[in-house]
């Protein structure tokens, strides 16, 4: 039997030991690393409202087209050239010595087809070597100006060629050798477009825009249509020389909007976000109207070796409020550390670790519209 006094002594010793013991050291405070802190979304600013001049003091800019790298190609009927307006605003000469170059279209293999109006033929430009070769010639015994606009390229690679002086429309194989006549009896077919359902639209400078589906019928009548394009959402764009305007129509030919006061808009083009680009022939310049959103030059901050915070610069049209998604091209040598998606009033942000000299970002609405940008990174 344990004596009570021994229990009391034991308790006293235990309490005394607890009071005199040194408390355990507290855990060290870990300073959060940059990757542990929230990544702030980068600011966004509105896109310019209305027409915006991109390039001016050109001899005689005519038609437009985009290449796969997002460069805006433009022909100059007086200079006899095809050039590219790069995303950074610089201009690169692609080909020279052409005889009144007009319409352009890109083939599936990357060649640039351009119509030589003075010779009524279509030439092919190699985008790498810039070599120019004959793609297909068309007879012209009418004494009228030769081929104007050409394209589009269809899903099977065929090219639509409006034979302007002869009032015909041809469907030509990608190699330029085989050709099938698909329409006739047109006053002066000057441009063509196609929609997702396969309908082909023909701009006739005599007044109508025709649609072939497959029979020819009148789609709409406008003042001297010169070219026609179909946007990703199915809207139809027609530049008209008779009233110095660009008309936007729905798929049934009902007018939605008109951009007026464009001086002789000989050429029109749409980028991958359906923003509208045009030439003003008599003002010697190229302009743009932002209809959805564009990407300005991104801002890059190097925070460590091979580690960067990238601020896209998304500029929205005032009426464009659709949510956007930011995607980054990743690989075995590129890791996405943090990502903030764009908001309606922000551009998003991304932190990456990479050994690559550049990275590609894509901003899209998750459906039809997108913009892609290659961003150079410092060592």
Q: pLDDT of 285-333, one tens digit each?
A: 999 999 999 999 999 999 999 999 999 999 999 999 999 999 998 778 8
24 lies in some domain: no
Euclidean distance between CA atoms 377 and 301, whole angstroms: 9
pLDDT digits over 7-18, tens only? Answer: 333 333 333 334
- What's the pLDDT at 37? 74
Contacts of 68 (CB under 8 A, 6+ apart): 106, 110
Query: Which CATH number do you get for residue 237?
Result: 2.120.10.30
Going by their DSSP bridges, the two strands 121-125 and 61-66 should be labelled as unpaired
Terminal Cα distance for the chain, rounded: 81
- What is d(CA 17, CA 165) in angstroms, rounded to the nearest whole number? 109
Buried b (16+ CB within 10 A) or exposed e, 315-353: bbbeebeeebebbbbeeeebeeeeebbbeeebbbbbbbe
Q: Are residues 263 and 190 in the same domain?
A: yes
Instruction: Please enumerate, as own/partner, the contacts of 6-15 that have beta carbons within 8 Å and a separation of 24 or more.
Output: none
Partners of residue 221 on adjacent β-strands: 208
Among residues 250, 265, 283, the one where a domain terminates is 283
* Residues 308 and 263 occupy one common structural domain: no
Nearest residue to 312 via CA among 269, 357, 372, 222: 372
How many separate domains does the chain show?
Answer: 2
Closest to 102 in 3D by CA, of 150, 159, 161, 173: 150
Q: Does residue 26 fall inside a structural domain?
A: no
The pLDDT assigned to 329 comes to 80
* DSSP 8-state code for residue 174: T
Q: Using alpha carbons, select from 373, 199, 195 the residue that is nearest to residue 183.
A: 199
pLDDT digits (tens, 9 = 90+) for 231-249: 999 999 999 999 999 999 9
Output the pLDDT for position 87. 87
Starting at the edge strand that comes first in sequence, how are the strands of the sheet with 189-194 ordered?
189-194, 200-204, 208-212, 216-221
Query: For residue 41, which of 314, 289, 287 has the smallest C-alpha distance?
Result: 314
Cα distance between residue 227 and residue 248, in whole Å: 12
From 283, 312, 346, select the one nearest 41 (Cα to Cα).
Answer: 346
- Return the CATH number at 342: 2.60.40.10
Q: Do both 84 and 229 map to the same domain?
A: yes
Q: What is the pLDDT of residue 13?
A: 35
Strands 159-163, 168-172: pairing is antiparallel
Q: Collect the ranges in the chain with pLDDT lower than 50.
A: 1-34
Instruction: Give buried/exposed letters for 70-80 (b at 16+ CB in 10 A, else e).
Output: bbbbbbbbebb
Domain final position from 229, 262, 283: 283
- Measured CA distances, 24 to 15, 16, 29, 160, 315 (Å): 17, 17, 15, 83, 56
Same-domain pairing of 179 and 264 = yes
Q: Which residues are registered as beta bridge partners of 169?
A: 162, 183
The answer on 117 and 250 residing in a single domain is yes
High-pLDDT (> 90) share of the chain, %: 88
Tell me which DSSP letter residue 14 carries. H
Q: Considering just the CA atoms, what is the radius of gyration of the chain in Å?
A: 31
Note whether residue 260 is domain-resident.
yes
Which among 336, 269, 341, 273 has a CA at the least distance from the CA of 309? 336
The model carries a pTM of 0.88
Is 210 found in the same domain as 127? yes
Count of CB atoms situated within 10 Å of the CB of 297: 13
Whether 348 contacts 41, CB under 8 Å:
yes
Phi-psi region of 68 (alpha: psi -120 to 50; beta: other; left: phi over 0): alpha
- Domain boundary among the residues 255, 283, 311 is at 283
CA distance 158 to 174: 5
pLDDT value at residue 12: 34
* Domain carrying residue 67: 58-283
Tokens 């052409």 locate to 98
Same domain, 193 and 267: yes
Structure tokens at 301: 């901050």
For residues 238 and 340, membership in a common domain is answered with no
Helical segments of 208-339, H only: none
């Amino acid at each position: 039997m344990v004596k009570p006094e021994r229990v009391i002594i034991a308790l006293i010793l235990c309490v005394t030991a607890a009071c005199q013991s040194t408390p355990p050291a507290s855990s060290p405070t870990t300073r959060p690393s940059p990757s542990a802190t929230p990544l702030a979304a980068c600011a966004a600013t509105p896109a310019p409202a209305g027409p915006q001049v991109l390039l001016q003091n050109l001899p005689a800019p005519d038609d437009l087209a985009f290449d796969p790298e997002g460069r805006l190609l433009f022909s100059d009927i007086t200079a006899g050239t095809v050039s590219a307006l790069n995303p950074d605003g610089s201009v690169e000469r692609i080909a020279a010595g052409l005889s009144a170059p007009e319409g352009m279209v890109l083939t599936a293999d990357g060649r640039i087809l351009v119509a030589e109006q003075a010779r009524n033929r279509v030439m092919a430009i190699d985008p790498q070597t810039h070599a120019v070769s004959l793609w297909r010639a068309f007879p012209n015994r009418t004494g009228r100006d030769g081929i104007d606009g050409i394209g589009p390229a269809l899903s099977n690679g065929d090219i639509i060629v409006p034979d302007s002086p002869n009032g015909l429309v041809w469907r030509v194989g990608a190699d330029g050798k085989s050709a099938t006549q698909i329409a006739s009896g047109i006053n002066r077919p000057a441009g063509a477009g196609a929609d997702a359902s396969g309908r082909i639209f023909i701009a006739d400078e005599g007044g109508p825009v025709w649609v072939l589906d497959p029979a020819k019928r009148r789609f709409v009548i406008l003042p001297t249509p010169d070219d026609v394009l179909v946007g990703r959402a199915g809207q139809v764009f027609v530049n008209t020389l008779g009233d110095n305007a660009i008309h936007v129509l729905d798929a049934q030919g009902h007018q939605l909007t008109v951009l007026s006061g464009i001086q002789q808009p000989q050429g029109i083009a749409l980028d991958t976000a359906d923003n509208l680009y045009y030439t003003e022939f008599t003002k010697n310049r190229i302009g743009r109207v932002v209809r959805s959103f564009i990407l300005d030059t991104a801002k890059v901050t190097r925070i460590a070796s091979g580690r960067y915070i990238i601020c896209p610069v998304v500029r929205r049209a005032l009426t464009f409020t659709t949510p956007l998604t930011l995607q980054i091209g990743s690989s075995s040598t590129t890791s996405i550390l943090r990502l903030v998606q764009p908001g309606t009033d922000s551009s998003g942000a991304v932190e990456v670790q990479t050994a690559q000299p550049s990275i590609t970002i894509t901003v899209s609405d998750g459906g039809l519209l997108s913009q892609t940008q290659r961003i150079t990174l410092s060592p």
